[in-house]
Structures are given as structure tokens and as C-alpha cells.
Chain A
Amino acid sequence: MQQHRELSEQQINVQLLNGTLATPRWWKWAVLGLLIIVLAGFSTFGFMINKGLGVTGLNRPVFWGTLITTFVFWVGISHAGIMISAILRLTQAEWRRPVTRAAELLTVFSLITALSFPVIHAGRPWRIIYWILPYDFSRGIWPNVRSPLVWDPAAIGTYLTGSILFLYVALLPDLGNLRDRTVGWRNRLYSLLSLGWRGNSRQWRMQTTAGILLSALMLPIFVSVHSIVSWDFAVTPSVEGWHSTIFAPYFVIGAVHSGVSAVVTMMALMRWLWKWDNFIRPEHFDALARLLIVVGTAWFAFTLIELLYSFYTLEAQELAFRDMQIFQWPWAFLFIVFLITGFFIPVPAWLFKRVRNSIPWMFWTSISVNIGMWLERFLIIVPALSRKQPFVYTWGSYHPSLTEMMMIVWSLAFVGMNMLLFARFFPLIPLFEQKEAQAFSSRIQIGRASVPAVLREQEQE
């Protein structure tokens, strides 16, 4: 609150709707550039369907490669939204206000992108419907609920639906605001979406209660999603390095590490692109960096514990696998890059206040984390599958093909383009949250010092 600036409600409307009521000059070019990549990605997907998965680098025994790595990566990024939005809402952290919607939005688009990867990876995507939906087709066989093939869509589908609804409910007051500021078809669109919002006491009370109630409901879902994704691996006893009891919390904390870092990246971009210096301030980056120090260190501890358990058993197969993963080319190189980018560069850097308050520093260190976190998932999946297992009869190696590389680039462009499209029609920072922050804040005099203070509403019975 130290850097808090007083703005009228009118000024907040004007500044935060600058990219929604008008089109920034850079916006069209950015969307066009991303659209070209997205279309190239869809073409590549079409090529993969037409030619089959032979155009990827997947071959026995490595049947999970960068497509599944990228799926896990985006599920991880999606944990940003609820971590930031729900936990900070429940704890009434003031600095959450400019961050919540961007984080929730990142969750939604990351999950949509994540869900598309198993579909792409299936090779014949239309067949997925028989694995998931209880559609009693001609053979009379129902979905096998004992398989992670059903667990994943159930968990991610729940998280995605919940996140979209969470985002929409919190958007209602701002949709009402946009209805008041627009004419023509946009006015009709916002009138419809805002459901006739007027901002009476009953509606505001429901908003406040909804934020807390939905946060409390979304948090257990948030924990379950990456736990279930981790069980895709952990319930496979035959693959060394996967059959681990700590995979669920390890994946969840890793997801929070990468997700919160992605929020930092996004906030820096929002500040630069829409010039929201009054709303996204160094104090917000400072708070996120402090959170990331704790999360990053906890995640690193899990990484070490995971390795410790492997070595402690002294099982020959497990030791041979770890030897390959950590000391043999090319995995050794990737392992070092993963540790340096995921932990040793960003976390020690965040210990310095100057770094935490520097937006370019925070931007680059947050990107560094996500390079490391993508490599972490790659190093969990691919080396373990490359070795001969009890149920496979061969060794093998894996080189991602150009088509797979294209799909990684597509996923980044797809999320970026959707965020920009959303920002053109809806505010990325909740206007009513900013106004509430001003209504609930004041300066108080303590001795000779005038300090900012935040009032907290008493809980109603």
C-alpha cells in the first residue's frame, strides 16, 4: 500500500478500459503475428492426423514425449489462477487486487491448451470420446474408471469448468460497467452478459460471499488436479523414477512455482503494454517474489527428497536410471540447465530487494523458472521411458521432431493470442476491486507519521 495512488472512479474506468474501449496500435499486429503461428500449429495438427504419429519422434519404448511434457507444463501454469486468486482472496491480501483476474484467465487458457495436448497425442482424437463419456456404443463397453485416461479429463474438466465460472462471476460488475460505457452491438453484448447487473446491496453482498465461497471450493480442486496428473506417472510401477509416493505434492508445488512465475511474466507484460503503472506497481512484484522464494525453495526441497529416496533404496535399476538422468549426455546437460534456470538463478536473485522491485528482472527471472519447469517435466518423462523396463523389450532414444516443436510454439502463441483477444473485450484488471481498495483505504496519523491503512469489513453472521 505504500505506493498507493488516489484515483477517482472515473479515472479508474478510463485507465483500466484503455485497451477495451479502444484498440491499442500494437494490438492488431501482435494478434496477427500470433494468429499466423496458431494457424501454422493447427495445420501441423492436421498433418499429424493425416500422416499419423509417425511424424513425431515417438517410437518404442518412448511413447510419451514433448506433447505430454507440454501437457503437464500447461496444467502446471494453470495453477497460477487459483493459487493467487483463491488463497489471496481467502486471506484478504490487499495486493491481490490487480492480479486476480489475469491469474484466473491464465488458468482458463492454460487448461484449454493443456487439454488439447492429450487430444493431439492420441493421434486419432475422435476416439477419446469412447474412453471418457459413458456412451454405450456397439460393443457395449463403458469407460474404464480404473484408468488415468478417465481421471485426467474428470479432474481437468472440473477445474476448467470451475475456473470459467469463477472468472465469469467475478466479471459481472465489470460487465455492467462496460455496458454503461458502450453503444451498439457491444452494448447489447455486455447487457446480455451482465445479466442486468445494477450494483445494489444484494448483488454486492453476493459478490463478496461468492469470492470467498468459490475460493474455498476451488482450492481442493486445485490440489487434486495436479495430484491426479502426477498419478498418470506414479501409478505406473514398472517405470523407474515414476513410482513415487511424493509425486502428488511434488507436482502440486512445482505447478505453483511455475504458475505464479507465469503470473509475474504476465503482469510485467500488462504493465508495459497497457501502461498500467498506477495499478501494477513494484510492490506487487515484491510481494509475488517473496511468495516465490518460499514456493521455489519448497519445490527444490521436494526435488532433493525425490532424489534422496531414489538413492536410499540402493536398487540397481533405480541407481542406473538416476545415473543416466543426471550424468549421461544429453540428459546431464538438460539436468544442469533445469536446476540453474528453475532454482539457482531466480530464487537467490529474489532475495535482493532491488531485484524484487525491478520489473525487467522479475520478468526475466520468471521466464527462467518456466524454462526450468518445462525441462523438469521432460526429464521426468523421457529418460525414464528410454530405458528398458520389465514390460518392454527394448531400449530407445527420443528426439522431438519439427512437428512436436511446432506444437510447443503453437501452445505459447495460442495462450498469448487468447489473452490478447480477451483483453480487447474485457478488462484484465477488475475495476470494482480497484475501486473497493480505494473505498476501504485511508491515511491515518500515528504520532508524526502519516501512514496508509486498509479497513477490513467485519464478518457478518
Chain B
Amino acid sequence: MAIKSILGLYESPDAGANALDGLHAAGIEPHQTEVLTGTPYPEGAFGEHVPQHRLFRFPAFGAMFGFTLALLYTAGTQLAWPLVTGGKPILAVPAMLIILYEFTMLNAVIFTVVGIIFESRLPDFFSKKAYDRRISEGLIGIAVACDEQKVSEVEAVLKRAGALEIKTA
């Protein structure tokens, strides 16, 4: 059975929240619905399902990876060719700390950004989900992913809640 994406457009957050309540009452699971907005509304403003994430693990892994990389760059290279410079020890820890710190932080940032993109479920170029450009002009979009046979029922619920327009993809 093909999954259809249906989008209802609403003028106000209240109408969007009512539509979402109606969908839940009609037996649509929270994970099947999405609230699309052009503004970051407070979490739960529409009574929507608040997704969990594991973003905080990413910087920790990144930091560990960066530290290891920096250790190879600083200690590994100096031990590979032990050339005394300026009378300093081959493994000059205070100087190494600077590089260790920067590489650790750099990789923590890079992994965090990868985590943000992954946890946002991006990139999403090819999925055929219903969307309307007026969402970024202030309209509230309530998107539903459902079986083909439920489309008419979902459309009726969205319409009852005062949808300005309903789109299907």
C-alpha cells in the first residue's frame, strides 16, 4: 500500500493545534504527523509529538577522535623523526597541549554539526513529502503520512479544522 503525504494549511497556530487534535482523535499516530512552520514555535505549542535526539553524544565522540588525531600529529610525528630543536624535549608537553586542545575542539564542533544535520533528518532531497512555500510566509502546515485508503478520512479531518487548502503528494 502506497504511503501518501497530505498537507493542510492553516492561518493560525490555534487552528493547526485543533487539526492535530482531530487527527489524533481519528486514530492517526503522533509519529505520522508533522507540524511545518516558518517560525520556531515553543515545543508542544501544537500538542505535537516532541522527538527525542542523541545530539549530545556527537561532540563527545568528536572530541575523542580529535584528541587521538592530535596525539598522532604531535607525538607520533616527533617520535618518528626525533630532531632536537632549541634544546627542547622531543615530546614537549606544554606545546603539544595547544595542538591537542585545538584538534579536540575542532572535531567536537565538526561532529556536532554532523549530528545536527543527522538528527534533523537532513539531507532530504528525494522524499516526496507535501510542502507549500507559503509555510515560510507564516502559514502553519500540518502534514500527515498515511495509507492511500485513509486519505479521504484525513482530508476530512483537516478540512473540519479549517484548512485553507489541502495538498497531497
Q: Which of A174-222 contact B (CB under 8 A)?
A: 176-177, 180-181, 191-192, 195-210, 213-214, 217-218, 220-221
Complex Cα gap A204–B116 (Å) = 11
Q: Which of A423-450 contact B (CB under 8 A)?
A: 432, 435-436, 438-440
- Known interface pairs A8-B138, A145-B77. Does A151 touch B105 (Cβ–Cβ under 8 Å)? no
| CB-based contact A199/B135 at 8 Å | yes
A154 at the interface (CB under 8 A from B): yes
| CB-based contact A200/B34 at 8 Å | yes
Considering the complex, give the chain A residue whose CB is closest to the CB of B83.
A141
Considering the complex, give the chain B residue whose CB is closest to the CB of A433.
B40
Considering the complex, give the chain A residue whose CB is closest to the CB of B96.
A145
Please indicate the chain B residues that have their CB under 8 angstroms from the CB of A143 in the complex.
77
A11 nearest CB across to chain B (Å): 10
Q: Which of B84-141 contact A (CB under 8 A)?
A: 85-86, 88, 92, 95-96, 98-99, 101-103, 105-106, 108-110, 112-113, 116-117, 119-125, 127, 129, 131, 133, 135-138, 141
Of the stretches A155-163, A364-372, A379-387, the one at the interface is A155-163
| CB-based contact B41/A439 at 8 Å | yes
Considering the complex, give the chain B residue whose CB is closest to the CB of A162.
B109
| CB-based contact A199/B38 at 8 Å | yes
Complex Cα gap A140–B141 (Å) = 61
B168 at the interface (CB under 8 A from A): no
By size class, the interface of chain B is 35 or more
A460 at the interface (CB under 8 A from B): yes
Among the listed A177, A196, A438, which residue makes an inter-chain contact with B136, where contact means beta carbons less than 8 Å apart?
Answer: A177
Q: How many A-B residue pairs have CB under 8 A?
A: 191
- Known interface pairs A9-B137, A151-B99, A205-B50. Does A440 touch B55 (Cβ–Cβ under 8 Å)? no
B39 at the interface (CB under 8 A from A): yes
Considering the complex, give the chain B residue whose CB is closest to the CB of A163.
B109
11 contacts between A and B (CB under 8 A): A141-B81, A145-B74, A151-B95, A157-B102, A169-B117, A172-B122, A197-B122, A198-B34, A207-B120, A218-B109, A460-B50
User: Which residues does B use to contact A, with CB under 8 Å?
Assistant: 34-43, 46, 48-51, 53, 55-56, 59, 73-74, 77-78, 80-81, 83, 85-86, 88, 92, 95-96, 98-99, 101-103, 105-106, 108-110, 112-113, 116-117, 119-125, 127, 129, 131, 133, 135-138, 141, 143
User: Which residues does A use to contact B, with CB under 8 Å?
Assistant: 8-10, 13, 134, 136, 140-147, 150-151, 154-155, 157-158, 161-162, 165-166, 168-169, 172-173, 176-177, 180-181, 191-192, 195-210, 213-214, 217-218, 220-221, 224, 228, 432, 435-436, 438-440, 455, 457, 460
